[in-house]
Amino acid sequence: SQTIHQWPATLVQPVGSPLSLECTVEGTSNPNLYWYRQAAGRGLQLLFYSVGIGQISSEVPQNLSASRPQDRQFILSSKKLLLSDSGFYLCAWKVGGTDTQYFGPGTRLTVL
Partner 1 sequence: GESVGLHLPTLSVQEGDNSIINCAYSNSASDYFIWYKQESGKGPQFIIDIRSNMDKRQGQRVTVLLNKTVKHLSLQIAATQPGDSAVYFCAENRAAGNNRKLIWGLGTSLAVNP
Sites of contact with partner 1 (CB under 8 A): 42-44, 46, 49, 51, 57, 90, 92, 99-106, 108
Give Cα 17 to chain centroid, integer Å.
18
Residue nearer to partner 1 on the CB measure, 73 or 88: 88
Helix, strand, coil tally for the chain in percent (to 5)? 5, 60, 40
Closer residue to partner 1, CB minimum distance, 81 or 92: 92
Q: How far is the CB of 110 from partner 1 (least distance, A)?
A: 13
Least distance to partner 1, CB of residue 48, Å: 13
Closest contact distance (angstroms) between CB of 16 and partner 1 is 27
Pairing of strands 107-111, 10-13: parallel
Which is nearer to partner 1, 16 or 105 (by Cβ)? 105
Cβ 105 to partner 1 shortest distance, Å: 5
Q: For partner 1, which is the closer residue by CB, 3 or 17? A: 3
Q: How far is CA 54 from CA 19, 33, 43, 72, 81, in A?
A: 19, 12, 28, 11, 23
